[in-house]
Chains A and B, each alone.
Chain A
Amino acid sequence: MIGTMDQVFVLLQHWLTDFLPAAWQGAARVVLSVVVIVCLFPALFALTTVFERKGLGRIQNRIGPNRTGWLGILQPVADGIKSLTKEDIVPLSADAAVHFLAPLVLVVAVFMGFAVLPMGRKMVLVEMDAGLLFFFAMGASTELSVFMAGWSSRNKYSLLGAMRAVAQMISYEVPLLMSSVAVVMITGSLSLTRIVEAQDHYTWGFPHWYIFTPWGFAGFVMYAIAATAETNRSPFDLPEGESELVAGYHTEYSGFKFALFFLGEYLAMFSISGLGTTLFLGGWSAPFSWLGWIPSWIWFFSKLMLSIFVFIWLRGTLPRLRQDQLMNFAWKFVLPMTLLNLMVAALWRFLGEGWERWVICSAILVLAYLVMGWSGMRGGHFGPRRYRYAE
């Protein structure tokens, strides 16, 4: 029974496709999974928008939307109808073809990332050996769509927003990759299923998730920072900073195209949270061995929603960074830390099973954090900007 609940979607998929001729079954199963992913994550996006607005409201001691439907749960439906019925404006001087393509490219590229995410035991669309590589390749192509949008709009705000977005996303792509490389080094595989399986065993009831190791914790923090920047979420929301750039690269988008950008942004957040869950939080494995009877997909999606909550919490807390702070932080703090973390992961691998590796690895990371934090703050890299004027 427990096994059935765990595999309920896989069994359902098989039950639905079993009547087809054997040659068609494989393709039919893939199509079915794709349809489910394409429906499920936008639905999750709709829920997240209303929860985000309510959560931010609570953080600011407000109530948040509660008028549409029961406790405002139908708010995304109203928003959807609104964006569908709005006029689709294309600027006269815009490059119409690219302007049209940009949101589509974004959504398609983001959806591709979900293909390799294991969302439960045996619940992965494409069992790819180089899953992590594929994920990052797809994630990197969202930059293209952002720049397409900014460039084709022929608007100074759009272009500035796109420039910022590209600079930021490329800068943070490096630490994002570097922090995941540590996981690959320890697991010895780029396959996301293998990475989850490597974390899915327990000592005294506690899991062997990578976040519970010194290098894993440091890697997770760096990954979370880079992921926040990569998805253009606050406090790294410079590309769409309302107070400076109207709406950044999607200034000239309205109606459903804007909704697609919005969707793409949230889907990117889901996929990058899903990857973070897979790499550091044990993917679909239960947090305690005695909770193993709860289906694996429930664990995956709970962890996903928990990371989304952290994203919202950060958005409700932190003010937006300045461009120079953003770049300094990426290249002078996060990147060196991830590089050091690679060394520490290697050390962890070769120090054997004893307690020494815990002490040594933690000490190196904590010391590096303190020293870099202290020197960074003292050097004024993160402080107020010093203006230099021409004589």
Chain B
Amino acid sequence: MLGEGILKGLAETAKNFAGSFVSAERLTTVEYPEERIAPIEAARVFPFLVYDVENRDGGGPEWEAGMRCVACQICEKECPPKCIYIEKSRDKKLDYLGKAQYYPARFDIDISVCMSCQICVEVCPFEAIKMDTEFELATDDRFGGLLLDREQLAKPNEYYHKIHPTEAAKVDAHLAAEKAKADAKAKAAADAAAAKALAPSAGGAD
């Protein structure tokens, strides 16, 4: 019948109109600045640099001393929009494995250029760069304010655990395994060296 569909439609919208006042399920709006939804683990916005509080070497503040980044510049080369700029240091510092490594004297990410593709995270062999979930980055200075230097980028491993717990646990396990392997290797090498050191003395005793 003519007009039947219109009546059905009117009933549907009336149901919505009345329902949105009584049913919280219908009204899904989250009034953002006052209310927030729980952070989503898989969210990603822009990269940040992880540092470890316990593995510090050299002077300077905590974030500089414990930074995992070794300035290998793979991320800089792989970045599709070329938003990363790294300057390698002249001296070396010990990393968590006790190995002497370079560190970034300068590490800038221009987040006005970054497209949040996560390729830098995927190519990093040192688990040093990860994706952040911070999205309230508005600034009134569109050049300087959006060019983050290494101090702004550095965040502790605890923060990484807070925003991506599952992923961070995996990374920690991986790093611990690497460290155990390196320790075992170092121990074996030390034992071998000790044995070698002992051998000539034994030979000398003869």
Contact B16–A60 (Cβ < 8 Å):
yes
Proximity string of chain B (126-164) to chain A, C-beta cutoff 8 Å, 1 when within and 0 when not = 000000000000000000000000000000000000000
Known: A313-B13, A313-B14. A61 touches B26 (CB 8 A): yes
Contact pattern, A 305-319, Cβ under 8 Å of B = 1, otherwise 0: 000000001101110
A58–B15 Cα gap in the complex (Å)?
10
* Chain B contacts with A in 1-36, Cβ cutoff 8 A: 1-3, 6, 9-10, 12-14, 16-17, 19-21, 26-29, 31
Contact A317 B10 (CB under 8 A): yes
Contact in complex: A61, B3 (CB < 8 Å): no
Contact across chains for B6 and A318 when beta carbons are under 8 A apart: yes
Asked whether A62 lies within 8 Å of B29 as measured between CB atoms, the reply is yes
With a CB–CB cut-off of 8 A, which chain A residues contact B19? 61
Are A317 and B9 also in contact (CB < 8 A) when A58-B16, A63-B27 are? yes
Interface stretch, picked from A73-81, A176-184, A272-280, A368-376, is: A368-376
Q: In the complex the two chains form, is B20's CB within 8 Å of A58's CB? A: yes
By the criterion CB–CB under 8 Å, are A317 and B28 in contact?
A: no
Give the dominant DSSP class at A's interface.
helix
Q: B26 contacts which chain A residues (CB < 8 A)?
A: 61
Please, which residue of chain B has its CB at the minimum distance from the CB of A376? B2
Bound-state CA distance A62–B27 (Å) is: 6
Residues of A within 8 A of B27 (CB): 61-63
* Contact between chains at A58 and B9 (CB < 8 Å): no
A61-B26, A63-B31, A317-B10 known; A373 and B16 CB under 8 Å? no
Interface size on B, residues (CB 8 A): 19
Q: Which residues of B contact A370 (CB under 8 A)?
A: 1
Minimum CB distance partner of B4 in chain A: A373
In the bound assembly, the distance between CA atoms of A373 and B27 in angstroms comes to: 37
A118 at the interface (CB under 8 A from B): no
Nearest opposing residue in chain B for A62, CB measure: B29
Q: Check if A316 sits within 8 Å of B13, measured CB to CB.
A: yes
A219 to chain B, nearest CB (A): 16
CB-CB under 8 A for A59 and B9, given A373-B3, A374-B2: no
B17 touches A58 (CB 8 A): yes
Within the assembled complex, what's the spacing in Å between the Cα atoms of A372 and B6?
A: 17
Chain A minimum-CB-distance residue to B7? A317
The smallest beta-carbon distance between B74 and chain A, in angstroms, is 46
Q: Are B29 and A63 in contact (CB under 8 A)?
A: yes
Assess the B1–A373 pair: CB atoms within 8 A.
yes
- A316 nearest in chain B by CB position: B13
**Complex: how many Å from CA A49 to CA B164?**
45
Distance of B21 from chain A, by nearest CB (Å): 7
Q: How far is the CA of A318 from the CA of B20 in the complex (A)?
A: 19
Residues of chain A with a CB closer than 8 A to B3's CB: 373
User: What separation, in Å, do the CA atoms of A62 and B14 have in the docked complex?
Assistant: 14
Chain A residues with CB below 8 A from B14, complex form = 313
Bound-complex Cα distance A316 to B10 (A): 9
In the bound assembly, the distance between CA atoms of A205 and B9 in angstroms comes to: 34
Smallest CB gap from B19: residue in A: A61
Give Cα A377 to B10, complex, Å. 20
Q: Which A residues between 47 and 97 are near B, CB-CB below 8 angstroms?
A: 55, 58-63
What is the bound-complex CA distance between A370 and B13, given in angstroms? 25
Q: Shortest CB–CB separation between residue B136 and chain A, in angstroms?
A: 18
- Complex Cα distance, B3 from A372, in Å, reads 12
CA distance A61 to B20 in the complex (A): 6
Give the distance to chain B from A72, nearest Cβ to Cβ, in Å. 12
Residues of B within 8 A of A333 (CB): 2
For window 25-63 of A, CB contacts with B under 8 Å fall at: 55, 58-63
Shortest CB distance B120–A (Å): 38
| CA distance in complex: A104, B3 (Å) | 38
B12's nearest neighbour on chain A, judged by CB, is A317
- B10 x A313 contact (CB < 8 A): yes
Report yes or no: B2 in contact with A377, Cβ–Cβ below 8 A: yes
**B16, B26, B28 — which one has the most chain A CB atoms within 10 A of its CB?**
B16
Q: Which residues of A contact B12 (CB under 8 A)?
A: 317
Q: Which residues of B contact A313 (CB under 8 A)?
A: 10, 13-14, 17
A selection of 29 A-B contacts at a CB cut-off of 8 Å is A55-B17, A59-B13, A59-B16, A59-B17, A60-B16, A61-B19, A61-B20, A61-B27, A61-B28, A62-B20, A63-B27, A63-B29, A63-B31, A313-B13, A313-B14, A313-B17, A316-B13, A317-B6, A317-B13, A318-B6, A318-B9, A369-B2, A370-B1, A372-B2, A373-B1, A373-B2, A374-B1, A374-B2, A376-B2
- Given A62-B27, A313-B14, 20 more pairs with CB closer than 8 A: A58-B16, A58-B17, A61-B19, A61-B27, A61-B28, A62-B20, A62-B29, A63-B29, A313-B17, A314-B10, A317-B9, A317-B13, A318-B6, A318-B9, A333-B2, A370-B1, A372-B2, A373-B1, A373-B3, A374-B1
Residue numbers of B with Cβ under 8 A of A are: 1-3, 6, 9-10, 12-14, 16-17, 19-21, 26-29, 31
In order of increasing CB-CB distance, the 7 nearest A-B pairs are A373-B2, A317-B13, A317-B9, A59-B13, A58-B20, A58-B17, A61-B26
